């Protein structure tokens, strides 16, 4: 009998009581958010009309290493955390690899993904500020589901602008959000000025996260101060909340006498990846250990592997602050046949800075290869993964196959961000041979790059 169990659950008492701020370990900080009008770095007062005050402070704080998790948030976390660290014994056998593969499974909650970790925090701070509700966007629906659940718990309204193609493809995601009393609007919509403008300019658009963000921000700003906008990825505050994934992973691996040689995570806006790698990247930055960190993104929305490192708007309507990040341009809209999430045009400023400085690697996969990995994983490990998570699975499998060739017994850790039970149309298309790959041409990407703001900070890009 193996000394390493298939699943390791930390106890409630071992669950981290503080989030870890990865920026505190970075010698060079990410470039600051800029005011879209003045191009000056933003302060808390600038962000407070959009975000909750405490979240605005967290967004701009690059120095505080550990932030207390308020007890009410911990109490909600304990309903589904700590999440298990799982040894993928059956996948290892199928691959005939000497590598040891572990994954951190974040799907053991009603929302079905890691998104609840930040949704609970953001809803709590909105409640503590005395707000009546929040607005947000969602792509594949994981974030909208998680936030609906969190808002219901804290007694807040939740207005979700859902990317139109996902709204049409995933009716059961909408049904779950409705269970938790959320209001869901397909985006772009005629309910906001920016939505109406996008529809006038692009009447046949299938939508994008950038479009939905614009509508959600406008809706919050026009609420008369009763609501604020919240975001499920990209922002520094979100990576802070998601650090609980990496902190639990590191503690669990220490109990097993393990440390990852390679950490693999799917990358869309960066929430899961940033949370998973946080303590391991800190070790790397401090010279304590040197794990390889690999970001896996879709070939249809390749912000790291084919994007530009530039200041860009976080939304299509150009109403948000400017962030320096790897981006395909705020005007980029991914192909409607892209089945999973990971549809955002940019990448977390924290992760963008780390990638730009050489601390991270990135790889992009076509979706048919991703679903091939998802099906193999489901057959061997009995969990049907979300398409987003399957990107990390594809990356981990390829790392393990390289170990088979080199005969190296490396330790691989990847993030299984959630389950794929709301993505059955995509699985059905893959299994029936109807799924195709859509990889943007250089000319397609140039259209997005042409939407980058023409500001001094972007000269020469």
pLDDT of 115: 97
pLDDT tens track for 40-89: 999 999 999 999 999 999 999 999 999 999 999 999 999 999 999 999 99
Tokens of 407: 């005969």
pLDDT by residue (tens digit) across 142-177? Answer: 999 999 999 999 999 999 999 998 888 888 889 999
- Supply the DSSP string of 148-200, one letter for each residue: HHHHHHHT-EEEEEEEHHHHHH-HHHHHHHHHTT-EEEEES-TTSHHHHHHHH
Mean pLDDT of 262-283: 97
Name the residue among 3, 22, 2 with its Cα closest to residue 250.
22
Estimate to the nearest angstrom the gap between the alpha carbon of 167 and the chain centroid.
19
When pLDDT is averaged across residues 437-459 and rounded to a whole number, the result is 95
Q: Above 70 in pLDDT, residue 339?
A: no
Lowest mean pLDDT among 108-112, 114-118, 174-178, 334-338: 334-338
Do residues 273 and 351 touch, judged by C-beta distance below 8 A? yes
Per-residue pLDDT at 1 exceeds 70 = no
pLDDT digits (tens, 9 = 90+) for 36-53: 999 999 999 999 999 999
Label residue 209 exposed, middle or buried (CB < 10 Å: 0-12, 13-18, 19+).
Answer: buried
Mean pLDDT of the residues in the chain: 95
As a whole number, mean pLDDT of residues 283-292 equals 98
Domains and CATH numbers, the chain: 7-111+235-450 (3.40.50.1100), 132-225 (3.40.50.1100)
Q: Kindly tell me if the per-residue pLDDT of 208 is higher than 90.
A: no
Give the angle 277-283-287 at the CA atoms, nearest 5°. 140
If pLDDT is split at 50, 70 and 90, which confidence band does 2 have?
low
């Amino acid at each position: 009998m193996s000394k390493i169990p298939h699943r390791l659950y930390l106890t409630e008492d071992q669950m981290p009581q503080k989030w870890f701020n990865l920026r505190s370990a970075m010698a060079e900080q990410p470039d600051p958010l800029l005011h879209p009008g003045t191009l000056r770095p933003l302060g808390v007062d600038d962000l407070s009309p959009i975000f909750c005050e405490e979240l605005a402070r967290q967004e701009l704080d690059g120095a505080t290493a550990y932030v207390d998790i308020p007890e009410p948030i911990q109490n909600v976390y304990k309903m589904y955390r700590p999440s298990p660290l799982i040894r993928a014994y059956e996948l290892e056998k199928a691959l005939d690899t000497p590598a040891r593969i572990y994954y951190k499974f974040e799907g053991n909650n009603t929302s079905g993904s890691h998104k609840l970790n930040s949704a609970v925090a953001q809803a709590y701070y909105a409640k503590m500020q005395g707000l009546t509700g929040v607005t947000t966007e969602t792509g594949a629906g994981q974030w909208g589901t998680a936030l609906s659940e969190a808002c219901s718990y804290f007694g807040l309204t939740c207005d979700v602008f859902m990317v139109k193609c996902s709204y049409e493809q995933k009716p059961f995601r909408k049904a779950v959000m409705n269970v938790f009393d959320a209001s869901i609007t397909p985006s772009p919509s005629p309910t906001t000025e920016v939505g109406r403008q996008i529809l006038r300019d692009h009447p046949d658009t299938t939508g994008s996260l950038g479009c939905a963000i614009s509508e959600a921000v406008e809706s919050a700003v026009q609420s008369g101060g009763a609501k604020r906008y919240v975001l499920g990825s990209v922002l520094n505050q979100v990576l802070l909340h998601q650090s609980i994934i990496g902190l639990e992973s590191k503690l669990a691996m220490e109990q097993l006498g393990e440390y990852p040689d390679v950490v693999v995570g799917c990358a869309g806006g960066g929430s899961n990846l940033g949370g998973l790698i946080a303590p391991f990247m800190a070790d790397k930055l401090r010279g304590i250990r040197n794990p390889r960190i690999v970001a896996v993104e879709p070939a249809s929305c390749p912000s790291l592997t084919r994007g530009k490192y530039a200041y860009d708007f976080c939304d299509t309507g150009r109403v948000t602050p400017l962030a320096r990040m790897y981006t395909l341009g705020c005007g980029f809209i991914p192909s409607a046949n892209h089945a999973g999430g990971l549809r955002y045009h940019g990448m977390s400023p924290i992760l963008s800075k780390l990638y730009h400085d050489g601390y991270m690697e990135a790889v992009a996969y076509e979706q048919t290869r991703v679903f091939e990995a998802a099906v193999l994983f489901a057959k061997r490990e009995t969990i049907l993964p979300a398409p987003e998570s399957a990107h990390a699975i594809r990356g981990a499998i390829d790392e393990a196959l390289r170990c088979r060739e080199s005969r190296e017994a490396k330790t691989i850790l990847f993030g299984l961000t959630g389950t794929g039970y709301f993505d059955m149309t995509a699985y059905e298309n893959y299994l029936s041979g109807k799924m195709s790959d859509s990889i943007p041409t250089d000319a397609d990407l140039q259209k997005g790059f042409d939407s980058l703001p023409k500001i001094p900070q972007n000269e020469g890009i």
